[in-house]
Amino acid sequence: MDVTEGREANQALQAGAVDVVLDSPAALDAVLGRGGAPAPLPLTLLWYVPIRAQLRHRGVTDILLADYAATLPVVFADSQSQRAIAQGENGMAQWWHYVTGLPQGTVAQAEAAADSAALALWWAGCFPEWVERGGKGHGMVRAYVTFAGRMLALAADLLEASAPEEAALCARAAEARTELHAALVEARADYIGDGPHSSESRLNRFLKRLADS
């Protein structure tokens, strides 16, 4: 970000136009480290800005959906299913068993359905190679995305009377499940890569940033 861009960003922030700054090309360049190291910002923001950019690229301008996508790592961090899915088990079966085991038509069931959707999107978008261990190739990834849409639709239906705003967000997320998944796939390329635990993958990500700068 050059001096002029920095001044414009500061003026926008002073005017309360936070979204203008977050959606600016300069902000995206800064968090991706184009032209240098990534900006010293919280990890949540380093994830959030690219997600917003990827969704906009796909025609999704609903900021609340970007906010929703940014919360997926939090749900993942609190989940107990990481080890099982990494070992090739079908996460959908676990989550469905959990959702259907709760009292029918309750807020608790709606919340469980929403959490299950979040986990399905996160795994399919950020760790597809692990998801594929539980089925036959890319068909399992598509199944996870479809499952996420159905769980979000269920949550929307269950929350319609008690929490209409949350229900509406779940419904919109269900409709945009494909775009949400695609945004996660692209954002993962910068921060996780195809082999997230290999030194080769980390080097490739660094070289990619140098090439883009």
CA distances to 4, 79, 172, 189 from 75, rounded to whole Å, are 38, 6, 19, 20
**3: confidence class by pLDDT, cuts 50, 70, 90:** very low
Average pLDDT of the chain, as a whole number: 78
Please state the pTM of the whole predicted model: 0.77
If phi over 0 gives left and psi between -120 and 50 gives alpha, with beta otherwise, what is residue 34?
A: beta
> What is the C-alpha separation between 78 and 35, in angstroms, rounded?
35
Q: Specify whether the CB–CB gap between 47 and 73 falls below 8 A.
A: yes
Per-residue pLDDT of 31-51, as tens digits, reads 777 655 555 666 667 778 888
pLDDT tens across 70-80, in order?
888 777 766 66
pLDDT band at 1 (very low <50, low <70, confident <90, very high): very low
